[in-house]
Structure 1
Amino acid sequence: MKRISLIATAIFIMMFSACRDDENIVLDEEEAEEEVVDTADYSDWDDATHSKNAELNYDVVFNQNEVLRFDITIDPDDWSEMQSDLASIFSSGSSRPGQSLDFDNPLFVPCSFTFNDTEWYHVGIRYKGNSSLQSAYQSGNNKLSFKLDFDEFEDDYPAIKNQRFYGFKQLNLNNNYDDASLMREKVGADLFRQFGLASAQTAFCVVYIDNGSGPQYYGVYTLVEEVDDTVYKTQFEQSSGNLYKPDGDAASFASGTYDTDEFYLKTNEDSANYSDVKALYTTINSSLRTSDVETWKTNLEAVFDVDVFLKWLAANTVIQNWDTYGNMTHNYFLYNNPETSQLTWIPWDNNEAFQTGKQNSALSLSMSEVSSSWPLIKYIIDQSEYNEVYESYLQKFIDEVFIPDEMISKYSAYYDLLKDYAYAEESGYTYITRDSYFDSAVETLKTHVQSRNDAVSSYLQ
């Protein structure tokens, strides 16, 4: 019996050792996989241009005196996936103006991004936009807008961890949709900021994309700063507040529309309770507005920066930007400024400004047509004290910012800067079907500024 026991023990030990050897082989394979070294050439990497520690370089990224050139290279297979993803989004359901598409999980793919002969590596790129993206896509226009995220793929490529573009993590390449002047997006954002409002920095750029067949000229774009990356951090004294991008019916703040799912929180997601937007919704629709107006105003000003909103409303109405609050339930941010504990308005997306005769007309200066569907306008402007502030900002905007001589000079300078690049845009990658359309669109901007100044002066008489 002892001999048999010893033999059994020996067999068990041999079997256990064999299993351990197999396990070690598996572990060795796993370790080998973990130890795979990324041998890519990152020789262009420099702390001043690529690292998270780099200071934000607005002078380089948002150079106001040049048209920047960006070269983007995307692997053909990744490009194909990008197109398939976009096609699936549009096939899943159509959108109407003002309604967001299903971009909760947009497909980022890696690209090589080159600027001034310097490469940024494995940069995330995806399409961006809503109804304008759908319209361009379905019409066969390849000049679509893109979002860039410079460390989107840092988990896959640890060598580029916290990669930045001169300090910026995310940037937008807006395609100047349906804008033959190529200027409206930039000019709108710049005017808001000049008027003392928080607003994204912008610059003109041209984009070339190589998806396997060589560089293709995609035309003139507007480079736009990302609000939830740097705007709220640099244009407010404190950056710890909640930042929302409302989109959908709840963005109107109309009675019965409150829905936290439509207040997309961009900061402090882990501690979200939406009490600030709920307070604004409750206050703006409170019955105190008619029973005790002074208390209503006090409560409103405690949670909402009414003065900033009226300043934005005045500027936005003068330039005739219809694709935002008052017509559309999107294209603005709300930032809960820690200094004041007030939700503060930040404008966004201005490519539809500076024009009349669109399918959705811009609001009149009097706001008389605005209904309770837009309570932040209707209920505030109905108060004579607030209406006086609004009208004072109308005058201030045309006196100090939207000045005809200065704007005409600006438009002429931008025309000279962009003309050759605009004329070079190619069929299938442009909203300018003839060179003369660019010329006439710029001239229309020049007449628009004078006509709007005249309209404000006439209204305030």
Structure 2
Amino acid sequence: MNRLNSRLLIGFSLWATLSCKTLSESVDATHAGLTDWTTATHSNDAKPDYDVVFPEDKVNSIEITMTSENWEAIRADMISKAGNDFGAGGNMQGGNEQNPNNNGGNMGNPPTNGGNPNNGQTPPTNGGNPNNGQNPTNGGGGSLDIIPGDPIYVPVSFKYNGKEWYKVGFRLKGNSSLSQAWSQGIYKLPFKLQFDEFEDDYPEIKNQRFYGFKELSMAPGHNDNTLMKDKIVADLFRSAGIPAARTSFCKVYINFGEGLKYCGVYTMIEVIDDTMVENQFGEENGNIYKPESTFQTFSQANFEKKNNETAADYSDVQSVITALNSADRLTNPSQWRTNLEKVFNVDHFLKYLAINHTIVNWDSYGAMAHNYYLYTPTTTKKVTWIPWDFNLSMTSTSTNGNQQGGGTMGRGVSLEMTEVGTNWPLIRYLADDATYLAKYKSYVQDFSTNYFTSAKMNAIIDKHYNLISPYVIGTEPEQTKYTFLSNAAAFTSGIEQLKQHVVTRTQAVNTYLK
């Protein structure tokens, strides 16, 4: 090689090295000052790390720090929505789920007039009140919002086991749970996290993720003395073959502008989005909905799209409602079933009903037209049910809280389903069909025999109790104004009631299947 070529080669190598270094430095500069940022933990290039975010054997630690100005912004927004300041009382529209006079909420024994332990609830005499939380004339609008509209997001510092995420979007969430915590001045507020909410304001966090996750929901165990129902029930559904959100326990500290305060044990819950459906359905391109509908008639306003918004194609759910309410149901049941099964995963829904009615869930379809998602896989093109929000499940008594518009907070649908009216056609019409009813009964038997036994449930309950009890009543206990528990005994007695509930429901299943 001559001297000229050698110099050219050296020059090219030097240019390439400098170019690569400049490129590397520009990438690093994108996250300048974000000392904890790594590809695996913060980048949207990382695959969701379920083992880190949703472990089964540990309680992770979360620290959230907001400025006092941001807390004041939240308060101002909530005053406009809820009609009262934090801790200032209010009309308590969500019902008497808590006792506002004991500074921590009375989470002891629920009222005894809410249900019959033999079937999980006292059936209403009207076959289900169509005005109870939804409007039957348009397919159901869900429960009336106590807190109208979503609260505002504010940017916060978020630390998970000591590692920081930056300018994370934090907002309050919930309906009766938020209304009551806000009115009573309980800092254990339900909230949601959006990791790239403020990327337009802070370009350095563009596409920020939390171990591959974009959003998370944080449930404080409102109206659940055990603080574990959201996790237990989601896990039960998935174990039995029904996709549901992944969950884990976290102890949460929040700085509202005056120093970190321990806000107790929360359940971290996976949001139903493209990440979740890809993980559990093996794909992510189908429509995801969060409806507020009874499925009597179709109204686009009742089917909130969580993806594919620009396509504005609702034909999948429209087809389900058309097939479900077809006159063939009475004149040609076989054809009705065939048409319905082409567009709706009926077998899956019957299994969901069997589980939901066995455990008892006071805040789900059949009582309220919300707390479920739908996903339509592109492979089967069958709309598929995804259950959501379980803090009001696994109890044989209701909260007896009054909603706006009359009726009660909710009611658990019995195994027999005889109390459910035609205003809930996904239950009533399937239960009236002998073929579907036989399948439903077989799923009740299978779930009760293979999943919901006292031996298996007691082991699960004890495992969770041992995991979270140090942070509820032990070395780092929940405190007044930062808990919904009235005292330590409420937690331990709640555990025993949960175990007894399994026994009671097993007896109810045996009676039903005789």
Same fold (TM over 0.5): yes
CA distances 1:383-438 after superposition (whole Å, capped 9, x unpaired)? 00000000000011011111210110111121111112112111111111110110
In the alignment, the residues of structure 2 paired with residue 102 and residue 341 of structure 1 have an alpha-carbon distance, to the nearest angstrom, of 35
CA positional deviation for 1:95? 6.3
**Structure 2 matches for 1:183-262, cutoff 5 A?**
183-247=228-292, 251-254=293-296, 257-262=297-302
SS in 2 for 1:227: coil
| Long gaps (5+) in structure 2 | 1-28, 85-90, 95-132, 134-142, 401-409
Contact kept, 8 Å, 2:253 with 2:260, in 1: the verdict is yes
CA positional deviation for 1:102? 5.7
**Structure 2 matches for 1:48-127, cutoff 5 A?**
48-91=40-83, 98-101=143-146, 104-127=149-172
In the alignment, the residues of structure 2 paired with residue 355 and residue 437 of structure 1 have an alpha-carbon distance, to the nearest angstrom, of 15
CA distances 1:205-245 after superposition (whole Å, capped 9, x unpaired)? 11101122110111110000000252212111221111110
CA positional deviation for 1:322? 1.6
* 1:456 counterpart letter in structure 2: V
SS in 2 for 1:100: coil
* Inter-CA distance 102–418: structure 2 relative to 1 (3 Å threshold): closer
In the alignment, the residues of structure 2 paired with residue 428 and residue 289 of structure 1 have an alpha-carbon distance, to the nearest angstrom, of 53
Q: Which residue of 1 aligns with 2:140?
A: none
1:332 partnered with 2:380: no
Q: Which has the higher contact order (CA 8 A, sep 6+)?
A: 2
CA positional deviation for 1:273? 2.6
* 1:438 counterpart letter in structure 2: F
Equivalent of residue 150 in structure 1, options 195, 214, 221 = 195
Contact kept, 8 Å, 1:169 with 1:229, in 2: the verdict is no
Q: Which residue of 2 aligns with 1:33?
A: none
Q: Which residue of 1 aligns with 2:112?
A: none
| Long gaps (5+) in structure 1 | 1-36
Give the total of aligned pairs.
420
CA distances 1:332-387 after superposition (whole Å, capped 9, x unpaired)? 00111111111100000000001012133311111111110100000011100000
SS in 2 for 1:69: strand
Q: Which residue of 1 aligns with 2:421?
A: 371
* 1:386 counterpart letter in structure 2: Y
Contact kept, 8 Å, 1:180 with 1:437, in 2: the verdict is yes
CA positional deviation for 1:99? 2.3
Q: Which residue of 2 aligns with 1:19?
A: none
Q: Which residue of 1 aligns with 2:362?
A: 322
In the alignment, the residues of structure 2 paired with residue 364 and residue 102 of structure 1 have an alpha-carbon distance, to the nearest angstrom, of 30
SS in 1 for 2:504: helix
Equivalent of residue 313 in structure 2, options 273, 281, 302 = 273
1:291 partnered with 2:291: no
Q: Which residue of 1 aligns with 2:447?
A: 397
Q: Which residue of 1 aligns with 2:488?
A: 435
CA distances 1:181-210 after superposition (whole Å, capped 9, x unpaired)? 101111011100111011000001111011
1:414 partnered with 2:414: no
In the alignment, the residues of structure 2 paired with residue 456 and residue 338 of structure 1 have an alpha-carbon distance, to the nearest angstrom, of 36
CA positional deviation for 1:130? 1.4
In the alignment, the residues of structure 2 paired with residue 159 and residue 287 of structure 1 have an alpha-carbon distance, to the nearest angstrom, of 57
CA positional deviation for 1:131? 2.1
SS in 2 for 1:252: coil
Q: Which residue of 1 aligns with 2:128?
A: none
In the alignment, the residues of structure 2 paired with residue 362 and residue 437 of structure 1 have an alpha-carbon distance, to the nearest angstrom, of 23
CA positional deviation for 1:293? 1.3
In the alignment, the residues of structure 2 paired with residue 289 and residue 273 of structure 1 have an alpha-carbon distance, to the nearest angstrom, of 26
* 2:59 counterpart letter in structure 1: V
CA positional deviation for 1:121? 0.4
* 2:197 counterpart letter in structure 1: E
CA positional deviation for 1:145? 0.7
Q: Which residue of 2 aligns with 1:12?
A: none
In the alignment, the residues of structure 2 paired with residue 139 and residue 126 of structure 1 have an alpha-carbon distance, to the nearest angstrom, of 18
SS in 2 for 1:219: strand
1:42 partnered with 2:34: yes
Contact kept, 8 Å, 1:168 with 1:229, in 2: the verdict is no
In the alignment, the residues of structure 1 paired with residue 148 and residue 420 of structure 2 have an alpha-carbon distance, to the nearest angstrom, of 30
Contact kept, 8 Å, 1:324 with 1:330, in 2: the verdict is yes
Contact kept, 8 Å, 1:38 with 1:157, in 2: the verdict is no
CA positional deviation for 1:105? 4.8
In the alignment, the residues of structure 2 paired with residue 102 and residue 228 of structure 1 have an alpha-carbon distance, to the nearest angstrom, of 23
CA positional deviation for 1:444? 0.7
CA RMSD of aligned residues (A): 1.8
Contact kept, 8 Å, 2:177 with 2:190, in 1: the verdict is no
CA positional deviation for 1:311? 0.5
In the alignment, the residues of structure 1 paired with residue 57 and residue 279 of structure 2 have an alpha-carbon distance, to the nearest angstrom, of 22
Equivalent of residue 447 in structure 1, options 492, 500, 509 = 500
In the alignment, the residues of structure 2 paired with residue 234 and residue 341 of structure 1 have an alpha-carbon distance, to the nearest angstrom, of 18
1:168 partnered with 2:218: no
* Inter-CA distance 49–64: structure 2 relative to 1 (3 Å threshold): same
Contact kept, 8 Å, 2:396 with 2:501, in 1: the verdict is no
Contact kept, 8 Å, 2:374 with 2:385, in 1: the verdict is yes
* 1:109 counterpart letter in structure 2: V
* Inter-CA distance 51–456: structure 2 relative to 1 (3 Å threshold): same
Contact kept, 8 Å, 1:170 with 1:229, in 2: the verdict is no
* 2:363 counterpart letter in structure 1: D
Contact kept, 8 Å, 1:304 with 1:344, in 2: the verdict is yes
In proportion to residue count, which structure has more helix?
A: 1
* Inter-CA distance 159–150: structure 2 relative to 1 (3 Å threshold): same
Q: Larger deviation: 59-68 or 128-137?
A: 128-137
* Inter-CA distance 105–425: structure 2 relative to 1 (3 Å threshold): closer
Contact kept, 8 Å, 1:99 with 1:130, in 2: the verdict is no
SS in 1 for 2:457: helix
